Amino acid sequence: MTDETRGDQPFKRLFFALDCPPAQRKAIAQWRSELGLRTGKPVPADNFHLTLLFLGAVPLAQIGEVCEAAAKVRIPGEALRISLDRLQVWRRAGVLSLAPEQAPQALLRLVYALEQAMLPFGFEEATREYRPHLTLARDYRAPEPESATPPEFFLRAERFALFESHKGRYRALADWPLI
């Protein structure tokens, strides 16, 4: 069995997320470097994103239907603006991340709408409690690092996307407007 087939059925590892613009990726990566991390594996800046819903292994034959269901998801109003103003360590998962002190209601509604749209497909991950975050490092096994400058990043999103995870890289397969 390879990482692209399960049994005899080919699949892709997929998740929905808000992409991080290139200038913001650079600013976050610079801020992270100033933390002087001595443990963990830094996430490549090109992979910075805010996950909405992890789907896991999706059969290739089902991706079109997943995209059709996602295309029907909308939230009313304007673009999402998420403050990434809290540095946190998830000890059990070994993750260092940036997160909002308070998740915007519009973000939570979008995640709920995606979860509902994906229910017919039976993805197991949809039952986890949603905790918005941007992963800075994996395999992180230390206390929360000291920061000379507190995190004050704002992720602004007008679209959400379906990403493929393949060999440590993330690639958007499709995206949809939020408005």
Residue 48 neighbours by CB under 8 Å, 6+ apart: 20, 24, 25, 28, 29, 134, 135
Q: Above 80 in pLDDT, residue 126?
A: no
Residue 8: the pLDDT is 67
Active-site annotation, residues: 49, 133
Which tokens belong to 10?
Answer: 């080919």
Q: Which of 2-11, 37-46, 142-151, 162-171 has the lowest mean pLDDT?
A: 2-11
Q: Which residue has the higher pLDDT, 75 or 41?
A: 41
Tell me the per-residue pLDDT of 19-72, one tens digit each, with 9 for 90 and over: 999 999 999 999 999 999 999 999 999 999 999 999 999 999 999 999 999 999
